[in-house]
Structure 1
Amino acid sequence: MANRGYDVVVDVDEGGDLGNTDLQEDLEFHSSNFNDPPNSRSKIPPDNSGPFSNGQNPPPSKRFLWTLSFYAQFFDVDTSEVLRRCTSSLYPRSPFLDILDGNPDLYGPFWIATTLVFILFLTATISQYLAEKGVDHFEYNFQLLSGAAGLIYGYTGFVPIGLWGLLRWFGAESATLVECWALYGYANVIWIPVALISWSPVTALNYVFVAIGFLMSAVFLVRNLWPVVSVTEAKVSRILVIGVVALHAGLAIAIKFTFFAHGSPAIKGSTGDGKGDGAEKMIRSLLGL
């Protein structure tokens, strides 16, 4: 190949030495056990854009939806922590998302909802019994149990999903789906004492108890959701808050007129003929009815 204008000059002394260079001064040798972590620049950052991550803290390990370890991370709480979170929902002193401290759980919300379902059925049955006192044969209305389960589980399960989807749509991504579930789940704590004292046949008292439950839980939701929704446009944030309050008012109205109002659709659905089928017959036979 012809020379294209590149000239190289090498100065070699008689002993074949390339001359005195300072390469040896720049070379340093370090001991290594080959167990040191690789350079952090070569790592690929994890993807934190999923519905269960807030995009800030990477997950502790790689988990998949079809493994038990994935769901176990949402039940990683003890009894004292659940009680502390329940108390914080009744007496809020600091933002609830700060109390969760990046570890939202589904254990507390599930058992709170389950407890509320059975208490609603029990107290509604007592309320119905007092209203029909003097009847020869009282009939348990087991439709109240299925109605309570559908109302509480449906509201606590699906409303947070819709809210989280709207927050993602409008660019508010500071709350994860599990945090929304936890927020709504612990907001149901106030309904447990409300349901326990709403068996009274005095209608005015029932209205007062349900109104107190609605106000306390609605304030809890708005107070903790406002920092999340406020990052959106002012009009959008107001609409979201109004929607949250309206849906929660619908829950309070459903609790009042389905379980603690005599002559409600659920109570009217009682057959009153002393007959039942399946699980209803078995439960009645166990109760000696």
Structure 2
Amino acid sequence: MSNKATSPKDYSVVLEVDPDESELEFQGFATTSSQQGLQGGGRLDNNKAQNTNASTSFFGTSSFLPEPNAAQQTQGQPSLWQAEYYAGYFNVDTNEVLERMLQSVVPTKNFLDTIAANPDLYGPFWIVTTVIFTMFVTSSLSQSIIAYLHGAKRVYDFTTLSFAVFTVYPYVGAASVGVWATTKYFGCQPSLLEIFSVYGYSFAVWIPIAVACVVPSDLMRWILTLVAFASSAFFICRNIFYIVARSNATVHKALVLVVLAAHAAVALIFKIKFFSYNVGDVGTGDE
């Protein structure tokens, strides 16, 4: 064996391995265990994805439940039963809500395109709530004015407020779910969130109408009620047509008739319960 110094070239020869054994020589066992963990996690992720797909296949694309926003996806999606899950759908400013209210009264653009980037529940909830209190206040104010002019004592009826609450909220909820379920049955791809938005924002026109119905003319109150009904019903039906047009499905025309009939019934209730008053309706008492 030679005693000469080993050159760098010799080292490269010594470190040379058989190509057939390269995979065995350079396998890291610590990495392998990590990879096994990742593979196990991948199987769990696949199971979660399968469960999610099963839910989505029932509710459809743009489905029953609102999708989490980008912040929720980054930080981890909270549970459906936690308030944080819905926080993103109340993340709108005053200008956005006012713009959407204006579009519901003067529908010059596709409302669904407007709310697509940032659908909200804030506007629909507070618009409906404002309508309820506005109708109660203006109705009570009208009764008080008439009582004062005729020298009668006004007895406030707070059951009117309860009646409004148990009429408007259930109507918006039931009508939204009904339209969603029907359009989905016919093969459309509806989103319950956007239908809630449509029904909620459709009530925006009732706020100024409720104030205007303080006028003492019953004929004028009928005209104002019809205007509010026509405006809100047109807005609802127009957006239902947009939802149907997104797919090749054909929805029975009876859906539109049912929507119009239900909305007309609510408008009639508003007129009779909140916008109809005369001296005979005013509670009297000792001066």
Q: Same fold (TM over 0.5)?
A: yes
Q: Output the CA distance in 1 between the equivalents of 2:131 and 2:111.
A: 21
Q: Output the CA distance in 2 between the equivalents of 1:104 and 1:199.
A: 34
Question: Structure 2 residue aligned with 1:159, among 164, 167, 175?
Answer: 175
CA-to-partner distance for each residue in 1:217-256, whole Å, 9 max, x for gaps? 111111111122355765x431111111111111111110
Query: Percent identical across equivalent pairs?
Result: 32
Q: Secondary structure at the match of 1:137?
A: coil
The letter of the residue matching 1:224 is: N
Is the Cα–Cα contact under 8 Å of residues 130 and 201 in structure 1 kept in the other structure?
no
2:186 matches 1:170: yes
The letter of the residue matching 1:98 is: D
TM-score by length of 1: 0.71
Show the 5 A alignment for 1:134-145.
Answer: 134-145=150-161
Aligned to 2:103: 88
Question: Structure 2 residue aligned with 1:148, among 164, 168, 174?
Answer: 164
CA-to-partner distance for each residue in 1:47-73, whole Å, 9 max, x for gaps? 362759616x96435332222221212
Q: Output the CA distance in 2 between the equivalents of 1:80 and 1:130.
A: 35
| 1:136 Cα deviation after fit | 3.0
Aligned to 2:130: 115
Question: Structure 2 residue aligned with 1:237, among 240, 252, 255?
Answer: 252
| 1:193 Cα deviation after fit | 0.5
| 1:272 Cα deviation after fit | 5.6
Which sections of structure 2, spanning at least 5 residues, go unmatched? 1-18, 23-33
Count residues in correspondence.
242
Q: Output the CA distance in 1 between the equivalents of 2:255 and 2:210.
A: 28
2:69 matches 1:54: no
Q: Output the CA distance in 1 between the equivalents of 2:84 and 2:102.
A: 28
Q: Output the CA distance in 2 between the equivalents of 1:262 and 1:196.
A: 14
CA-to-partner distance for each residue in 1:18-72, whole Å, 9 max, x for gaps? xxx9xx9xxxxxxxxx9xxx99x987455362759616x9643533222222121
Q: Output the CA distance in 1 between the equivalents of 2:61 and 2:85.
A: 12
| 1:98 Cα deviation after fit | 0.3
Aligned to 1:72: 87
Question: Structure 1 residue aligned with 2:231, among 216, 220, 234?
Answer: 216
- Kindly tell me: are residues 184 and 52 of structure 1, through their superposed partners in 2, closer, same or farther at Cα, counting changes over 3 Å? farther
Aligned to 1:15: none
Q: Secondary structure at the match of 2:253?
A: helix
- Kindly tell me: are residues 224 and 54 of structure 1, through their superposed partners in 2, closer, same or farther at Cα, counting changes over 3 Å? same
Q: Output the CA distance in 1 between the equivalents of 2:81 and 2:172.
A: 23
Q: Output the CA distance in 1 between the equivalents of 2:216 and 2:151.
A: 16
RMSD: 3.5
TM-score by length of 2: 0.71
Is the Cα–Cα contact under 8 Å of residues 229 and 237 in structure 1 kept in the other structure?
no
Is the Cα–Cα contact under 8 Å of residues 52 and 178 in structure 1 kept in the other structure?
no
The letter of the residue matching 1:211 is: L
Q: Output the CA distance in 2 between the equivalents of 1:79 and 1:171.
A: 36
Question: Structure 2 residue aligned with 1:194, among 189, 209, 221?
Answer: 209
Is the Cα–Cα contact under 8 Å of residues 152 and 285 in structure 2 kept in the other structure?
no
The letter of the residue matching 2:62 is: N
The letter of the residue matching 1:257 is: I
- Kindly tell me: are residues 76 and 137 of structure 1, through their superposed partners in 2, closer, same or farther at Cα, counting changes over 3 Å? same
Q: Secondary structure at the match of 1:262?
A: coil
Q: Does 100-109 or 207-216 show the bigger shift?
A: 100-109
| 1:158 Cα deviation after fit | 2.0
Q: Output the CA distance in 2 between the equivalents of 1:215 and 1:122.
A: 24
Is the Cα–Cα contact under 8 Å of residues 187 and 249 in structure 2 kept in the other structure?
no
Which sections of structure 1, spanning at least 5 residues, go unmatched? 1-20, 25-33, 275-288
| 1:271 Cα deviation after fit | 6.9
Aligned to 2:28: none
